[in-house]
Amino acid sequence: MNTTSTGIIQKKRSLTLGWTQNITIIFKSIAKKKGGLIGSIFIAIMLLCAAAAPWLAPFDPNEQNILQRFAGPGLTHLLGTDYLGRDTLSRIIYGCRIAVLVAFGAVSLSSIFGVFLGVVAGYNEGKKFDYFIIWLFDIVRSFPQIILALAIVAVLGPSLVNVVIALAFTAFPFYGRIARAQTLSVKETDYVKAAEAMGQKPIKIILKHITPNIMAPVIVCLGMDMATMVIWESGLSFLGLGVRPPTASWGIMLRNGYKYIQVSPWTIVWPALAIAFSMIAFSLFSDGLRVALDPKERNR
C-alpha cells in the first residue's frame, strides 16, 4: 500500500515537471560523461558558428581575390584560400550553416512524417492501412539510401530544399518502423485502455497518449541520423548534386579541392577536418543521449 502511494506521488511529480526541467535533466545526464560533454561542446561550437557566421568569419565567404589564390595557411588567411582566392576559414564557418540546416531540417521532416505514419499504422495494427504503410516503408527501405537520394535530387534538380526533401524521404521509414514497434507495446498499456474506455477520439489518443511515450528511441535515432545527414549533404554537394555553388558548403569545398588536388592539398584537408569534427561531435552527443534516455544505463 505504502509503495503504491509513493509510486503515484513520484509519477505525479514527474508529470508536473515542465519541458524545460526535463531537458535540463537530460542535458545534465549527458554532460556527466566525458564523451557526452565533449560532444555537446562541439555541437555548441557548430551551432554558434552557424548562428553567428557573419560576425565570426573574418572575410566574406564569396569575396574573390585571384592574386591570393591557393594561399597556404598564413596570418591574413588563417587557413589559406581556394582556387578563386576565397578565404577558407570563412567558407568553413559559413558551411556550418548548411550542415546544421540540412541536419536539423531533414531529420525533423523525416521523423515527423515517419513517426506519424508509424504510430497510426501501429494503432491500426492488422488492418489494411497497417499493411499498406508497412509496404510503403519496405519499398523505400529497399533502396540503398544514398542512391535513392541521388535519384530524387536528379529528378527534382539540385538545391538546398530538394536535398532536404530527398534525404528526409530516404530516412522516414526507419522512424516509422521504430514508432510502429513502440506503439504496438504502448497501446496495450492501462492508460491508453482507460483513454479508449473514456471514449476519447483515436486522433487524440495518438497525439496525447501514445506519441509522447514512444519518443525516447526516436530521439536517440534522431541524434545518430544527424551525422548521416551531414555526410550525405556533403556527399551530394561533392557530386555537384546538392547545394548550388557559390554557396559555401563543405561538400562543395571538397569538390573544388578534388579538382585542384595536384595544386593545393589544403583545400581538401580543411573541409575534411570540418566534417570529421562534426561527425565526432554528433556521434559522441548521440551516444550520450542514448545513455541519458535509457533509465537502465543512466545510473551506471
Partner 1 sequence: MGVSHHGQRALNKFKFVHHALLCGGKSGPPHDMAVIKTKIKEGSKIMLQYSFKRVLWVFPTLIGVLLLLFSLTYFLPGDPATAILGPRATPELIEEINSRLHLDRSMPVRLGYYLKGIAQGDLGTSVWSGHSVSSLMMEALGHTAMLAVTTLAVAAAIGIILGAFGAIRQDTPISGVVTVASLMGVALPDFVAALLLMLVFCVKIPILPAIGAGEGFWDMIVHLILPATALGIGWVGYLARLTHESMVDVLEADYIRTARAFAIPQKSIAYVYALKNAIIPTITVLGLGVGKLLGGAVFVEIIFSRPGLGKLIVDAVYARDFPVLQGGILVATVLFVLANLLADISYGFVNPQIQYD
Q: Does 147 bind partner 1 (CB under 8 A)?
A: yes
**From residue 240 to residue 269, what is the string marking binding to partner 1 with x (rule CB under 8 A)?**
xx------------x--xx--xx--x--xx
Binding track over 279-298 against partner 1, x by CB under 8 A? xx--x---------------
* Shortest reach from residue 231's CB to partner 1, in Å: 4
**Nearest to partner 1 of 170, 209 (CB atom):** 170
Q: Which of 59, 104, 116, 143 lies at the binding interface for partner 1 (CB under 8 A)?
A: 143
Rounded to the nearest 10 degrees, how much is the dihedral formed by the CA atoms of 86, 92, 93, 97?
Answer: 110
For 129, half-sphere exposure in the C-beta direction (CA atoms, 13 angstrom radius) is 10
What are the cell numbers at 94? 559559413
Using the contact rule CB under 8 A, the part of the chain among 66-74, 93-101, 115-123, 272-280 near partner 1 is 272-280
Nearer to partner 1, 195 or 278 (CB): 278
Q: Does 161 bind partner 1 (CB under 8 A)?
A: no
Segment lying near partner 1 (by CB under 8 A), choices 54-62, 86-94, 106-114, 131-139: 131-139
Question: Closest approach of Cβ 227 to partner 1, in Å?
Answer: 8
Quote the least distance from Cβ 157 to partner 1, whole Å. Answer: 7
Choosing from 18, 126, 144, 295, the residue that interacts with partner 1 (CB under 8 A) is 144
Judged by CB under 8 A, the residue of 56, 101, 136, 216 near partner 1 is 136
| Residues lying near partner 1 in the complex (CB under 8 A) | 135-136, 138-140, 142-148, 150-152, 154-157, 227, 231, 234-235, 238-241, 254, 257-258, 261-262, 265, 268-269, 272, 275-277, 279-280, 283
